[in-house]
Amino acid sequence: MSSTVNVTLADLLDRTAGEVVTVRGKELPAGATVSEGRAIFASGSVRLIPLLDGAAYAGAVGSDDLEGADDGAAIADHAKAQPPTAAASDRVGDVIAGLGDDAGRRVVVLGDDGRTYVGLMCLDRDRTRLCIDAECHAAALAQP
């Protein structure tokens, strides 16, 4: 399990979204059950679960989407969350500027083909820092 660090957003504005994704295995296959989703949401930090069809992004589920759903139901049937998306090659500064005030703190990052899931860009509560997987990115982000 990787640890997470928070990196000041101002330090990352010229990086690409693909360079700053959080890759922690919080995704589920589109055929997963509501019970599997609830298990992931049990972690207080998880707010959004990307759903995948193989490597392709198939939608997302927010924690509120599962209220009242049967544990055995397909999670994809309850996917109502529509988080913003960005291409892996998009500059972080451009992605953040395009979010607006009410877009939340999670951005689904897709490959430049618009379908392949790359990861999540996760902002902290005050939207001044990004949560970055330390083991995956910290050393690379320290380099100019």
The residues of the chain scoring below 50 in pLDDT are: 1-3, 134-144
pLDDT of residue 98: 83
Strands 56-62 and 48-53: antiparallel
Amino acid 102: pLDDT: 61
* Domains contained in the chain, CATH given: 4-142 (3.10.580.10)
The torsion angle over the Cα atoms of residues 86, 100, 62 and 89, rounded to 10 degrees, is 10
Contact 92, 121 (CB under 8 A): yes
Coil/strand/helix, residue 50: strand
Q: What is the reported pTM?
A: 0.82
Helix intervals (H) in 67-111? 92-97
